[in-house]
Amino acid sequence: MKHAGFEIEIDRDRDILTLRYVGTLTFDVAQRALETCFSDPAVTASTLVLLDTTSAHVHEIDVSWLRRYQAYKDARGYPPQLTALVVSRYEGNQLLGQLWAAMRAMKTPESAGVFTDEQAAIDWLLERRVTPMSATMSA
């Protein structure tokens, strides 16, 4: 489904929602994308999420924006799904992605990964689904 500022694909067989941002990623676009995603009854707390910002302009995003985004998600009661973020190879976008993941990890450890390759992100999501995030290896 194409919308102004984002596109959504749902792989129902693997239960993966892909949200691709295009153009300028504003807070309004992010809100509308979340509302659209969670209006689909097939999207549940166990749905894996792939966020792709490689075609988005993220120059409006900073720490304050990320905090507002998380607060909005919390206020709406959206679940903390396992999420992989795909960013461009531009170092600034990678650092912004790492900041996003670090902020999420404060609330839900190991729930987010940041990648520059979509297939690597999908593989990571599927691996995490098979292996529970709470499982740890002992030395």
pLDDT digits (tens, 9 = 90+) for 71-98: 999 999 998 899 999 999 989 899 999 9
* Structural domain contains residue 135: no
For position 26, what pLDDT does the model report?
A: 96
Structural domain containing residue 86:
2-130
Q: Give me 109's structure tokens.
A: 């450890």
Q: Domain for residue 36, yes or no?
A: yes
Assess whether pLDDT exceeds 50 at residue 63. Answer: yes
Any idea what the CATH number is for the domain that residue 25 is in?
3.30.750.24
Q: Quick check: is 139 in a domain?
A: no
Q: Is residue 119 part of a domain?
A: yes
Instruction: Indicate the pTM of the whole model.
Output: 0.86
Rounded to 5 degrees, φ, ψ at 57 are: -95, 115
Q: What is the mean pLDDT of residues 40-53?
A: 94
pLDDT at 138 over 60: no
Mean pLDDT, range 44-49, rounded to an integer: 94
Are β-strands 16-24 and 6-11 bridged in parallel, bridged antiparallel, or unpaired? antiparallel
